[in-house]
Amino acid sequence: MFDNLYMLTTKVNSAWAVKTSAGIILIDTLYGYAAQDEIVDGLKKVGLDPADIKYIVVGHAHGDHDGSVKFLQDTYHPHVILSPKDWDLAARQTNPYSQDMDATDGQQLTLGDTTITIYITPGHTGGSLSLLVPVKDHGVPHLAMEWGGTALSANTSKEMLQSYISNAGRLLDIADGAGADVIIGNHTEYNDALTRFERTKARKPSEPNPWVVGKDEVRNYLTVVRECAKSWLAIGEGRP
């Protein structure tokens, strides 16, 4: 999708490979069933070596994002970064991966020539992570933003909804201040990823990169994220 960013995807989830001068930072890992076809073979298909994965940043400890962590950890031995609260969630899995590094809020993770920034934005889980990732399009720098935990439901507690709302607002300010102009995500349907993927494949050299949506669109996206949680809260409060 960019000079240094590759989408590894199923129809429901996206994982992202950030190529640096010293190896790969993998963001999320899809369900376990996609480990071979999408992560391992997907990396090879775009000319990358899965053995170069140095870090896996897991957005949150749900199976559609961390399902392949154990396989990748056992096979390639990268560091795995997860928020402290989600390590508890991960430990409850049937065949858990090994606890490794804690994410911290505002953490700058540098590998080679690339530094991504990690924010702890609870709401979807107690420790969902959001990210800022510097990318380049034909050498021109842009900044990608990922809002980590997207889905809400009638079971999401009031406390978690309030946390979701305040963190969406906080990330909106952070992304805006940092000049984020690209939206990436971990569920394909929430950022039109598959359509953008097709548009990227069909893109002519003179055409703009479909992933570069501009600062206003990033602001709008995070505003909608926040407003959706506000609606859930209002529905909950209106319930008899």
Taking CB under 5 A as the binding criterion, the range among 56-64, 70-78, 114-122, 216-224 that sits at the site for Zn ion is: 56-64
Taking CB under 5 A as the binding criterion, the range among 11-19, 58-66, 163-171, 186-194 that sits at the site for Zn ion is: 58-66
Return the number of the residue (135 or 222) whose C-beta is nearest Zn ion: 222
- Least distance in angstroms from the C-beta of 103 to Zn ion: 16
Return the number of the residue (62 or 70) whose C-beta is nearest Zn ion: 62
Helix (H, G, I), strand (E, B) or coil at 45: helix
Number of residues counted as binding Zn ion (CB under 5 A): 1
Return the number of the residue (56 or 213) whose C-beta is nearest Zn ion: 56
- Least distance in angstroms from the C-beta of 19 to Zn ion: 26
> Residue with the closest Cβ to Zn ion?
62
Angle at 70 between CA 67 and CA 72, to 5 degrees: 95
Q: Does 62 bind Zn ion (CB under 5 A)?
A: yes
Taking CB under 5 A as the binding criterion, the range among 54-62, 92-100, 155-163, 195-203 that sits at the site for Zn ion is: 54-62
As a whole number of angstroms, the distance between CA 196 and CA 216 comes to: 18
- Least distance in angstroms from the C-beta of 218 to Zn ion: 22
CA dihedral over 83, 88, 91, 93, signed as positive or negative: negative
The residues that bridge with 144 in the sheet, in sequence order, are: 133, 182
Written as one string, the DSSP assignment of 115-152 is: EEEEEE--SSSTT-EEEEEEEEETTEEEEEEE------
Return the number of the residue (28 or 38) whose C-beta is nearest Zn ion: 28
Closest CA to 218 of 148, 136, 162, 145: 145
- Least distance in angstroms from the C-beta of 168 to Zn ion: 16
Closest CA to 12 of 28, 30, 27: 30
Report how far Cα 26 is from the mean position of its chain's Cα atoms.
9
Return the number of the residue (28 or 181) whose C-beta is nearest Zn ion: 28
Instruction: List contacts with Zn ion (CB under 5 A).
Output: 62
